[in-house]
Amino acid sequence: MPTPPLPVRDGLNPSRIRQPDTGPWETTLEYLIDRFPQDEARLREKVNAGEVVDESGAGIDIRTAFTPRRFVYLYRDPPTEPRVPFEIDVLHRDEDILVVDKPHFLASTPRGRFVVESALVRLRRDLDLPELSPAHRLDRVTAGLLLFTVHQGARRDYQTMFADRTVHKEYEAIARYDATVRTPMEVSSRIVKERGVLKAREVDGDPNSRSRLELIETAGGFGRYRLIPYTGKTHQLRLHMTSVGLPIHGDNFYPDFYDVAPEDYSNPLRLLSKVLEFTDPRTGERRRFESRRTLSWPIEHDGDRLPRELQEETK
């Protein structure tokens, strides 16, 4: 993706909008108003203030002609969001990377209704790092280690490292204990995730995912498991644990979906990104990072509900 002609502002990238192949609009402003009618007043203000530009950075004014397939950049007004009441712990920072311990319920990057309340935007603002970029991602409901690059020059090296699967990852999870499920074991399956569908699913066909599941310890009918993904399919660990009869505690997607309000923090998914280990692509140094977070044990089990005090804890 080309570098935007507008810088990061207040932790947020500018939005990139592609004008359609054809249309009835005479000007770019007419197209933008037609696409975002609820924002007409603000769009006019932004155009008048020179805050809407094309790919070259040239300003769009009220007379700029609609041009098919041309990109337009502008800052969208972020929504008002309730603060996710959990903090990010910084574990490591150097000239190239930032490694943090993300809490449950905080999105990694802006998406959907979670824009400002994402780890990326919070960290850009709090640490004054406008070029901060994620090298990989975690689901909003998963806690643990996230690695960001600090500046644009380091971005490709670390993102490529994750894309090429040269990073050793370990997760921990809590699920019910079943003595008939023998571990350690490896699980392989073919996982597909269709655009617009919330859940991924396992289908017949050649496997494209593989995970190792290991039991660490048991307590009160539950087990704490070490999970090692060798591939990186969407919801892979959650699906593989479910497929062997051990769905991760607090998972409202698998095996069956049930709705949870975004501000309901009472029963987090017991899944933690615990270890990242890799050879640094810029220094050649072997690096290992380990989350300081722990997953608390369920002490009572009543269907899918747990007491509020059983949220994940930080040592």
Nearest 5°: phi and psi at 121?
-70, -40
Mean pLDDT of 107-116: 91
What is the C-alpha separation between 125 and 28, in angstroms, rounded?
A: 32
Q: Identify whether the C-beta of residue 54 lies closer than 8 Å to the C-beta of residue 27.
A: no
CA 212 to CA 238: how far, in whole Å?
A: 12
Could you tell me the pLDDT band of residue 300, with boundaries at 50, 70 and 90?
low
Domains of the chain (ranges, CATH numbers): 15-74 (3.10.290), 89-314 (3.30.2350.10)
Can you tell me the mean pLDDT for 6-10? 92
Tens of pLDDT, residues 238-297: 999 999 999 999 999 999 999 999 899 999 999 999 999 999 999 999 999 999 999 988
Please answer whether residues 248 and 173 qualify as being in contact, where contact means their C-beta atoms are separated by less than 8 angstroms.
yes
pLDDT of residue 2: 73
Q: What is the pTM of this model?
A: 0.86
Buried b (16+ CB within 10 A) or exposed e, 202-233: beeeeeebbbbbebeeeeeebbbbbbbbeeeb
- Which among 307, 193, 179, 210 is positioned nearest to 250, based on CA atoms? 307
Length in residues, the chain: 315
Q: pLDDT, tens digit, for every residue of 187-243?
A: 999 999 999 899 999 999 999 999 999 999 999 999 999 999 999 999 999 999 999
- Calculate the average pLDDT of the chain: 93
